[in-house]
Amino acid sequence: MTPTHDIWTDLADRESDGIEVALLWNRATGRVKVAVRDTKLSRGFELDVDGADALTAFQHPFAYAENRRVANRVRVTTTDLQLQT
């Protein structure tokens, strides 16, 4: 059985040239994240985002990740992952 905090609802998704982007929402926790996957390289990353930033992060995930990394001085790492839906 999957715990309810691990259930993500797909609010929007898109794919272009092997790049998959999904906007996901967790009803139990209220968290929103953007998951990005490069199917050609089998690599990707996830970004936890504020609800107010969700559409911007979904539309421009690479720019959002870079701006967040610079603003917060955090490192966004790529990992092998599968989109959770």
DSSP for residue 27: T
Pairing of strands 19-25, 43-49: unpaired
Question: Is position 23 within any domain?
Answer: yes
Number of Cα atoms under 13 Å in the Cβ half of residue 2: 8
Question: Is position 85 within any domain?
Answer: no
Q: In this predicted structure, what is the pLDDT of residue 30?
A: 94
Question: Is position 19 within any domain?
Answer: yes
Tell whether the model's pLDDT for residue 61 goes beyond 90. yes
Rounded mean pLDDT of 53-77?
78
Question: Is position 15 within any domain?
Answer: yes
Domain assignment of residue 52, given as a range: 4-72
Rounded mean pLDDT of 4-32?
93
- The whole model's pTM is what? 0.75
Q: b/e for 41-74, b at 16 or more Cβ within 10 A?
A: eeebbbbebeeeebeebbeebeebbeebeeeeee
How many domains is the chain partitioned into structurally? 1
